[in-house]
Amino acid sequence: METRASKMNPEPKLWMVAERAVRLPNALIAAETLRDRFPGGVELVHDQSNAWHDFNWGRYASYFDRVYTFPRLKTCRGVFDLPRLYRQTLDRKCAIAALPINPETDCLLCIAGVLGLSLVAASAHSKPRKVLTISTASYERLTRIPDRKHFRFSTASWLQNRFIEPLAGLERTVQMKPRRDSSGDGARLVRLEKDPREIFDRILVSSISGRELPSGDERFVAARYPSMAEVPVFSRAREDGAPRRVLFFGSPFLLVRNLAPEAYVAHLNRCLDYIRRFHPDRELIYRPHPFETDEAQRLELRGFRVEGDRQPAEIYFLENFHAIEAVYSVSSTVSRRGLTMGLNAYSFWRCFPFPDRAAQFFARLMGDVPAEFEIRDFDRAPVSYQAKRQAGADTRTFSDALIFAFDSLTTRVAARR
C-alpha cells in the first residue's frame, strides 16, 4: 500500500532513452548495472518502429519495469511541409513531457545519442540529472562546426532551426547539406547547436581503448565499449552440446567496387577456405549484406548456411551471443561491433590488394583495434583474444563507468544541498 511518506519521498527511478532497437544491448547492460541504485524502477523509452518487433522483444521487455513508445517523425520535405512537422514535433514533446519523471529524485540516461527522441526528452525534462553515453567518433560529429564554404542550410532545415525548434521548446539542431551535392536533397550534416555539456551533467565516452576523451572536463567519463560479457545471463556459454557458430558477414562488392569483382571473389574464396580450415566441426553461417544482389551465388560457400533475415548485427549478437565462436568480414564495421560487444571478431581487409585510398579508409574505419583483430596471413590460425583483453584491461568497463558517473553525480548533488 502506498503511504503518505512514500508519496513525499518517492524512490528514485532511472529513465532510459534508447531510440533505436540496436541500442537495446546497451540499455540491458545499463538496466542490470544500475537497478540497485534506482529502487523506484528502470523505465525504457524508445521509438515506434518495426525493428523492435523483428526479434524476440518480449524476452527483453521484462528487464524494464515499464516501456514507453513514441512515434517517429517523418522527414520534412519542404516549406509547405513545415506546419505538419511543427504539429507533430510539439505533440511528441508534450507526450514526453507528460512522463512522470520526478526532477528531484529521478535520472535520465540517453543511450548512444542525443538527437531524435533523446533530444526531445532532454528538452522536455530539463531539471532532472542527465547522463549521456556516446562513442568518441559520434561525439566528434555531434560537436563538429560545419565549414560554411562546403555546407549550407536547406530552406526547410533553416526554418526548423530558426522557428520550429524554438517554438516547440526544443534544443536547436544544425542540419546542413553539401553545397555541391548531385545525389539529391536532404541533410548530410546534423549536430547540436549547443555544447552537450550544457545539457548533460555527465557524458560517458566509449572507445575501444577506454582512454579517449574530448577534454579533461570532469563531466566526461572514459569507458570501453559496452560488452555483453558484462551481463552473465546473456554471455553464458551454451551447454546444449550443439556446435558453436562462426559467422561471415558479406559485402556488396558488386555495388562498391574497390576491386574488380573477379579479384574480389578470388580473395574472398580464400577467406572462406580459411574459416573452413581453422573452424572444423563448427556451424558456418554466411550473412549477406542488405545491399547484396547475387554476390553469394558467385562464392564458394560449401559448408556455409546462408541466413538472409537482415536482422541488425547488434540484435543478432545479443540473441546468439552464447553460441557464437567467431565473427568475420572483409572490411565491415560488423566485425568491429562484434569486437566491442565482447566476441572474437576478425577482419580480412589486410589480405586484399585494395588501392591505397581504400586501404587508408579501412584503417581509419576500424580504428585502434587489437593486433589479433586483423588477419594478415592465410596460413596463421586466428587468435582468441577477448579473454586476455578483458583480463588485462586497466580501464573502466561500460558498467563500471556507469556506476562511477551516477555515483559521482549523486555525491555532487548531495554536496550542493
C-beta separation of 402 from 204 below 8 A:
yes
- What pLDDT is stored for residue 100 in this prediction? 94
Burial (CB < 10 A; 0-12, 13-18, 19+), residue 322, is middle
- Which part of the chain is CATH 3.40.50.2000? 4-227+397-416
Per DSSP, helices labelled H in 244-354 are: 261-278, 313-320, 333-340
118 near 140, Cβ under 8 Å? no
Instruction: Look at residue 59 in the predicted model and tell me its pLDDT.
Output: 85
Amino acid 144: pLDDT: 80
Q: What is the pLDDT of residue 58?
A: 84
Instruction: Decide: 369 and 345 in contact? Cβ < 8 Å.
Output: no
- Give the per-residue pLDDT at 3: 36
Residue 140 is predicted with a pLDDT of 85
d(CA 175, CA 178): 11
**For domain 233-391, which CATH number applies: 2.160.20, 3.40.50, 2.60.120, 1.10.1240?**
3.40.50
Per-residue pLDDT of the chain (417 residues; tens, 9 = 90+): 343 334 556 889 999 999 889 999 999 999 999 999 999 999 999 998 888 888 888 888 989 999 999 988 877 777 787 888 888 889 999 999 999 999 999 999 999 877 888 888 989 898 999 999 998 888 888 888 877 777 888 777 888 888 888 888 888 888 888 877 554 444 577 888 888 888 899 999 999 888 888 888 888 999 999 998 888 777 666 566 678 899 999 999 988 888 999 999 999 999 999 999 999 999 999 999 989 889 999 999 999 999 988 899 999 999 899 899 999 999 999 999 999 999 999 999 999 999 999 899 999 888 889 999 999 999 999 999 888 777 666 788 999 999 999 998 865 544 444
DSSP 20-66: SGGGHHHHHHHHHHHGGG-TTEEEEEEE--GGGGSS-HHHHHTTSSE
Residue among 31, 55, 28, 57 nearest 42 (CA): 31
Which DSSP state fits 287?
E
What is the per-residue pLDDT for 302? 95
* Per-residue CA distances from 302 to 73, 229, 269, 323 (Å): 45, 32, 10, 21
What is the CATH topology of the domain spanning 4-227+397-416?
Rossmann fold (3.40.50)
Distance CA 348, CA 87 (A): 49
Q: What is the pTM of this model?
A: 0.86
Query: Are the CB atoms for 171 and 193 separated by under 8 Å?
Result: yes
Helices (H) and strands (E) in the chain, counts: 15, 15
The identity of residue 24, as a single letter, is: L
Q: From residue 116, how far is each of 19, 44, 46, 99, 404 by CA, in Å?
A: 8, 15, 10, 17, 26
pLDDT value at position 8? Answer: 54
